[in-house]
Amino acid sequence: MKTVLLIIALLLVVLLLLSLTLYKRNAPTTIREEEVPMTDIERFTYKPLDDTLKNSLTSEERSIIVGKATERAFSGEYTDTNDWGTYYCKWCGSPLYSSESKFHSGCGWPSFDEEIPHAVMRKTDADGIRTEILCATCGGHLGHVFEGERFTETNTRHCVNSLSLVFKDGAPVAEAVYAGGCFWGVEHLFAQKDGVYSAVSGYTGGNVENPSYQDVLTHTTGHLEAVKVLYNPLEISYDDLTKYFLEIHDPTQTNGQGPDIGNQYLSAIFYRSRHEFDVAVHLIEILEEKGLQIATTLRPAAVFYPAEEYHQDYYERKGTVPYCHAYTKRF
């Protein structure tokens, strides 16, 4: 009897061990969170333009730009203007329309037959019939767009509220901010690029207001040395401008740029709109498909603080060339 019980016990132990083995073999593998490779969506997460970068609005302007109201016909400041220049978004300052696309439609609101590329986005209006137009950078309401009226060759009419706009003389001026190591070299090379009006060295991305160079050197401000580029979007696209940025510094270096090591020298693109974000992601993907391991991060635009005067136009004043920045064709 004891022998039979012993055999039964041994069989039960064997069955238990077999069950545990099968469970471990078929059970899902547990991977620590930091070991899971990031997808493109997780690695690059889009965030809309922060309200701190938008201009203050009067109650009437807010009712239109945010509340999507419509100003009274023929009452707007820009309904019948003919001056040469550019119309900008009142809320965020992004260039929207060239005066060359403005025409008189007799509708009672400023009319344009073409926007600056990627400046305006369209969506179905709340009424389910019309097409609403909004600033592609901040989402501010502009008005509505109509097709098929045959006013101009484009067969398109952007019907825009004057209170959504600000007019300025001259060609359109857009801005882009990049961080690629020591700002002296990045500024110097951008200033030479066709279509660029100016490049300004400064600090951005941190949590300290009006930082000095010495503040940033402490590595406690969170700011990066960066360059604000002012350019004509009708002469050079954001796509080409960003390609150039990725070709004038080493976007694969993870701890700085060249001999400049530290978190203030990291590579980053500060985007203002969904279009800019998508362009940056696409260009990084192209480089990674070519085998490069890109360290450049994408960050939402933040307040940009110009650096001290002695940092501006550094190489031009010194009559020298950058020590860690040079053009390398990658696209």
Residue with tokens 């070519």: 290
User: The tokens of 197 are what?
Assistant: 């009006």
* Sequence-separated contacts (24+) of 255-261 with Cβ below 8 Å: 256/181, 257/180, 257/181, 257/182, 257/324, 257/325, 258/181, 258/182, 258/323, 258/324, 258/325, 259/323, 259/324, 260/181, 260/182, 260/324
pLDDT at 79: 97
Confidence class of residue 8 from pLDDT cuts 50, 70 and 90?
Answer: low
| Other CB atoms within 10 Å distance of the CB of residue 299 | 19
pLDDT digits (tens, 9 = 90+) for 87-97: 999 999 999 99
pLDDT at 14 over 90: no
- In CATH terms, the superfamily for domain 56-169 is Peptide methionine sulfoxide reductase. (2.170.150.20)
- Other beta carbons within 10 angstroms of residue 286's beta carbon come to 15
CATH code linked to domain 174-318: 3.30.1060.10
| 131-135/141-147 β-pairing | antiparallel
* pLDDT of the residue at 43: 78
What are the pLDDT digits (tens) for 216-259?
999 999 999 999 999 999 999 999 999 999 999 999 999 999 99
pLDDT tens for residues 69-85?
Answer: 999 999 999 999 999 99
Does position 37 have pLDDT exceeding 60, yes or no? Answer: no
Largest CA distance in the chain: 110
- pLDDT number for residue 247: 99
**Is residue 182 flagged as an active site residue?**
yes
pLDDT at 264 (0 to 100): 98
**Which tens digit of pLDDT belongs to each residue from 158-212?**
999 999 999 999 999 999 999 999 999 999 999 999 999 999 999 999 999 999 9
> Where do the domains of the chain lie?
56-169, 174-318
pLDDT at 41: 43
Helices (H), 44-164: 59-65
Q: For the chain, what is the mean pLDDT?
A: 91
pLDDT over 90 percentage in the chain: 87
Q: Taking 70 as the threshold, does the pLDDT of residue 6 lie above it? A: no
